Amino acid sequence: MAQTNILLEAGTNELEIVEFYLDEEVIARDGTDDTTAYKGYYGVNVAKVLEIIRLPRITALPEVSHPSVLGAFNLRNHIIPLVDLSLWLEKKRLVTDSPKVIVTEFNQVTTAFLVTGLTRIHRISWESVEPPSPYVSAMSGDSITGVVRLEDRIVFLLDLEKIVADINPDLGLHLDADVDLSMTSRYRVMVADDSTLVREMQRDLLAKAGFDVELYTNGKDAWERLEFLKNKAQTEGRNISEYLQTVIADIEMPGMDGMNLTKRIKNDPVLKALPVILFSSLITDKLRHKGESVGADDQISKPELGQVARRAKALIKEMLGLEK
């Protein structure tokens, strides 16, 4: 089953998720050796899925440090590592005759994930995606980014980026060694990202680079703050750039995604002057046109965190008419 060609219009605050399931073995809590089967439902953004295939022939990898990495396989002359999601989630997967493999691409890395089976593709609004509760986050090792309630079940959206980064830290967020963090003027930047880790890393980096940082966990909260600043600027007869100089937004966020946030900013006669940078694992050559269509001034793929400060400074100087 190949990836669908259903392409959502950018900025509609919608997404498509591939729903899949894991058949898990649950040990009885009464002290006996009895076990029962449990079907756990999960989802991943269609934009990250290259294709879905049957389990191929796997070759063991030398010196693999994480037990969830089963090995690698050859797919059209590309060697792709295979991660058993059940093992990573510390669950015991029931062996079935025809498990499925979801081949993904994000953060400029291709990774495959072994699951029990596929259910269907859902088109939903980001408004229907709830952030995980602190309890759910703690129980999942902070690997769940959103919760979708369907009629008869709950679907957990997995943070595949965190899973891959935990397995191979070299693929996580990093700071370029040659990034110049010096800045003579202080600027205020708004960061909207649902990942606590990413928000904190951006805050620390941007603070070192001379920025004052406002943090928001989703696009909806960021938009409400922008509307407040716009009204304040209009009431006081001042330019919006006196209150805020740039916006950095993730794309995937509960409530309101970064595409819709960007579109709202660029369609607003006052806020459109603010530079907007999309910082997301979904920034690829195939999907870059979506950010362009909503008016993003720049797009940076995770994990190139060091580029954020450099390019934000350049956009701000361009907006203010200063020499770069």
Reference 60, options 73, 50, 71; nearest CA is 71
pLDDT (mean) for 158-165? 86
pLDDT (mean) for 187-192? 95
pLDDT (mean) for 145-152? 90
Q: How large is the angle between the packed helices 219-236 and 258-267, nearest 10 degrees?
A: 20
Q: Are 39 and 286 in contact (CB under 8 A)?
A: no
In angstroms, the first-to-last Cα distance of the chain is 48
Q: pLDDT grade, residue 63 (50/70/90)?
A: confident
Q: pLDDT grade, residue 1 (50/70/90)?
A: very low
Distance (Å, whole) CA 103 – CA 175? 27
In this prediction, residue 179 carries a pLDDT of: 53
Identity (one letter) of the amino acid at 37?
A
Q: Would you list the domain boundaries of the chain?
A: 14-167, 173-319
Percent of the chain exceeding pLDDT 90 equals 54
Distance (Å, whole) CA 11 – CA 80? 32
- Tens digit of each residue's pLDDT (9 = 90 or more) over 240-280: 999 999 999 999 998 999 999 999 999 999 999 999 999 99
Q: Are 249 and 262 in contact (CB under 8 A)?
A: yes
| Domain 173-319, second-level architecture | 3-Layer(aba) Sandwich (3.40)
pLDDT (mean) for 144-169? 88
pTM: 0.81
In this prediction, residue 139 carries a pLDDT of: 75
In this prediction, residue 3 carries a pLDDT of: 43
Q: pLDDT grade, residue 5 (50/70/90)?
A: very low
Helical H segments across the chain, by residue range: 85-88, 134-139, 160-167, 196-208, 219-236, 258-267, 288-293, 306-319
Q: Are 1 and 113 in contact (CB under 8 A)?
A: no
Dihedral sign for Cα 248, 306, 217, 245, please.
Answer: negative
In this prediction, residue 208 carries a pLDDT of: 85
Tokens matching residue 38:
């449990």
Percent of the chain exceeding pLDDT 70 equals 89
User: Is residue 115 over pLDDT 70?
Assistant: yes
User: Is residue 156 over pLDDT 90?
Assistant: yes
Reference 17, options 50, 54, 53, 49; nearest CA is 49
Of residues 285 and 215, more confidence is placed in: 215
Distance (Å, whole) CA 194 – CA 139? 18
Q: pLDDT grade, residue 6 (50/70/90)?
A: very low
Domains 14-167 and 173-319 are alike in CATH topology: no
User: Is residue 30 over pLDDT 80?
Assistant: no
In this prediction, residue 200 carries a pLDDT of: 85
In this prediction, residue 19 carries a pLDDT of: 96
**What superfamily would CATH give domain 14-167?**
CheA-289, Domain 4 (2.40.50.180)
Reference 246, options 323, 176, 310; nearest CA is 310
Please tell me whether residue 51 adopts helix, strand or coil conformation.
Answer: strand
Give DSSP secondary structure letters for 174-189. Answer: B--TT-----SS-EEE
Tokens matching residue 97:
């005759």
> Across the chain, what does the average pLDDT equal?
86
